[in-house]
Chain A
Amino acid sequence: MTDTTPDLVPAPATPAQNSLLVADARTRRRNAAETRFRAYGIIAIGLAIAALVWLLSTIIADGAGAFRQTYATIPVTLDAAVVDPKGNRDPEEMKKVLTLSYDKLLITGMQDYLAQEGIQIAGLSDQDVKGFLSDQAKANLRDAVLADPALVGEVVTVPALTSSRIDGYFKGRVTAEQAARDSKTSPEQLQLADALHANGALETRFNSDFITNADASETRPEAAGLGVAILGSAYMMLIVLVLALPIGVAASIYLEEFAPKNRLTDLIEVNIANLAAVPSIVYGILGLAAFINFMGLPRSAPIVGGLVLTLMTLPTIIIATRAALKAVPPSIRDAALGVGASRMQTVFHHVLPLAMPGILTGTIIGLAHALGETAPLLLIGMVAFVQDYPDAPPAGLMDPTSALPVQIYNWTRRADPAFFERAAGAIIVLLVFLLIMNLAAIWLRRRFERRW
């Protein structure tokens, strides 16, 4: 302590010059900087929240229409001479009658209805009446008759799907000016729509078909539904759950509880951390090359999608599980080992049950990510147009299906703007599923939260 020279210590500033009650200029400047800095933080948070609100509100505004659909309820005479030319009410025979014939029945029914109600619209052509209803309407009518041959000869009033343009007119998507320019719609059709609406023969109501129907072709967005896609996603989630949860938990138990500190363990750890950050599309390439080209599994099948998503979800589950295992205090392990349990018994009897809520929370969040993943599924052929529902598992796991996010992607690729409404509507369905999963995760975490 020889270098202590107290004289060199700066003398205290004289008290008089800086009263604490008056902020000096420098302090005022510094405080202004402080306020600005805080404001940047608030602005940043405001922007983030605004982006969230903007995103969700546009999607909901765009997609809400998909859950409502416009139907025309007009009486149609199922002329026996047309639908059952042989007259024996045999569904096999009646299948030979094509949908084209039913189209005529619908048009006739519509024209009869107009005449009967005294609705007259100048310049309304037969073509306009034909295009007023969806192509799907005649197919639906045919299906109804084939399912119940007793209807032949009767007058039925089945709700018939209107075309997407007429539907769009009632949802504000199509205006009279647009209709005039659009070759597929005429102003007369819109007048007809108004007239029928005034008569109560046209109504826009909740559309459960959107959830249950299969996809429909390019020309009939009004009939497209999510049924196959939801089933396909459900199958894949089943595979992910059955494979990723046990494998992920087993891997975590090994790494957290048993692994010796050596090169192999390090390698596995680095691997898992990197796999969590590999772009999802690379997993799609893996699926295409390994599962489809090399192992010969079928394209578009939930089994391939499920395997790809399993590999993608594993790192998430492993990371969450290891955190949950780490959170169990060592004293629990010591206590079990102290009464003579083996390490394996300690883990399976004590540590694992205590870590279970954390593991399940992580698994649900991993599943939620997998459910929304699109890119890898594009590469394994799930973009294919699939109209048939898959069989029940396990056989159905090999059937071609779609998946929710891929269905959304498909619809955004189609020309008719009505498909954008469908896509946004499908996003709402997807987000509802995700919301439910995340709420379940939050509930689990709250319900079983443990403080050591």
Chain B
Amino acid sequence: MNVMANLERKLAQDDIKISAREVQVFYGEKHAIKDVNVDILDKTVTAFIGPSGCGKSTFLRCINRMNDTIDAARVEGKIVLDGEDIYDKRVDPVQLRAKVGMVFQKPNPFPKSIYDNVSYGPRIHGLARSRSELDEIVEKSLRGAALWNEVKDRLHEAGTGLSGGQQQRLCIARAVATQPEVLLMDEPCSALDPIATSQVEELIDQLRQDFSVVIVTHSMQQAARVSQKTAFFHLGNLVEYGATDDIFTNPQDPRTESYISGRIG
């Protein structure tokens, strides 16, 4: 990639990475997501906020088709990633998830070593040609997740032996190692203490340089701290979507205003 192209990429920050049109989700009889339209930008942190049960996590799981794993869930509408409809029946969800990584609410390291946790994705997707390349990816990813210095001497110890904050950063490193283009984070700090939370938030800000990050959070302060764009969900509807500053200082919809001023939620 030459310098010009690099520059172009930087300039094209407003590129639309994902656009969702009229997305509906049903859990059995329950209509969980109603008519959501949203455009998510590349190299941007987008926060989904809203009261619990508003559908923000459900919608997040639509973006990498994790809802496929739930028997009762049914998704309608269109979600387009880089111009391709991810619900097209030719799309293999496995390939999609390699492109759209995910970090979960509760840290869920595999009961394997730290090294094996991080190298798992590259291994199954065949990203490394040799052991040394794999070592390189593991190191890069752990550095990227700001965990390298803490674990470099115990890469072959169990990932489950780390503290909660370290486990979550390990899960982020694991997601990053697969070299995704979009990183979905489902309340990644809800199980962490304040210090670990601030570490992860700092990390999210770094990740923005390389990925499109979508984060679900129920903490409005967190959304304000880390995101550039914010979407407010309420009862399955996307109520308001815009620049984070606008949403928090000048909400257009009375429901958004009630929520951010603490009257509902």
B242 within 8 A of A: no
- Asked if A8 and B211 make an inter-chain contact with CB atoms under 8 angstroms apart, the answer reads no
- Asked if A12 and B148 make an inter-chain contact with CB atoms under 8 angstroms apart, the answer reads no
* A1-30 interface code vs B (CB 8 A; 1 in, 0 out): 111111011111101001111111011001
A residues with CB within 8 A of B: 1-6, 8-13, 15, 18-24, 26-27, 30-31
- Asked if A13 and B146 make an inter-chain contact with CB atoms under 8 angstroms apart, the answer reads no
Complex interface: chain B residues within 8 A of A2 (CB): 149
- Asked if B141 and A10 make an inter-chain contact with CB atoms under 8 angstroms apart, the answer reads yes
Question: B residues 83-103 with Cβ under 8 Å of A?
Answer: 84, 86, 88, 90-92, 94-96, 99
- What is the CB-to-nearest-CB distance from B66 to chain A, in angstroms, rounded to a whole number? 16
A-B contact list, 19 entries, CB within 8 Å: A1-B202, A3-B143, A4-B143, A6-B144, A6-B206, A9-B143, A9-B207, A10-B177, A11-B179, A12-B181, A12-B210, A13-B179, A15-B82, A18-B95, A20-B84, A20-B88, A20-B96, A21-B88, A27-B95
B171 within 8 A of A: no
Picked from A3, A19, A26, the residue with its CB within 8 Å of the CB of B125 is: A26
Cα A9 to Cα B209 in complex, Å, equals 10
Cα A20 to Cα B206 in complex, Å, equals 27
- Chain B contributes a number of interface residues (CB within 8 A of A) equal to 37
A10-B141, A10-B179 as given contacts; A24 in contact with B146, CB under 8 Å: no
Picked from A9, A18, A20, A27, the residue with its CB within 8 Å of the CB of B140 is: A9
- What is the CB-to-nearest-CB distance from A194 to chain B, in angstroms, rounded to a whole number? 63
- Asked if A8 and B144 make an inter-chain contact with CB atoms under 8 angstroms apart, the answer reads yes
Cα A26 to Cα B125 in complex, Å, equals 8
Complex interface: chain B residues within 8 A of A23 (CB): 90, 92, 95
Complex interface: chain B residues within 8 A of A4 (CB): 143-144, 146, 202-203, 206
- Asked if B81 and A20 make an inter-chain contact with CB atoms under 8 angstroms apart, the answer reads yes
- Asked if A8 and B84 make an inter-chain contact with CB atoms under 8 angstroms apart, the answer reads no
B184 within 8 A of A: no
B180 within 8 A of A: yes
Cα A11 to Cα B5 in complex, Å, equals 14
Picked from B92, B149, B177, the residue with its CB within 8 Å of the CB of A3 is: B149
- Which residue of chain A has the shortest Cβ distance to B42 in the bound complex? A12
B222 within 8 A of A: no
* B169-184 interface code vs A (CB 8 A; 1 in, 0 out): 0000000110111000
- What is the CB-to-nearest-CB distance from A345 to chain B, in angstroms, rounded to a whole number? 41
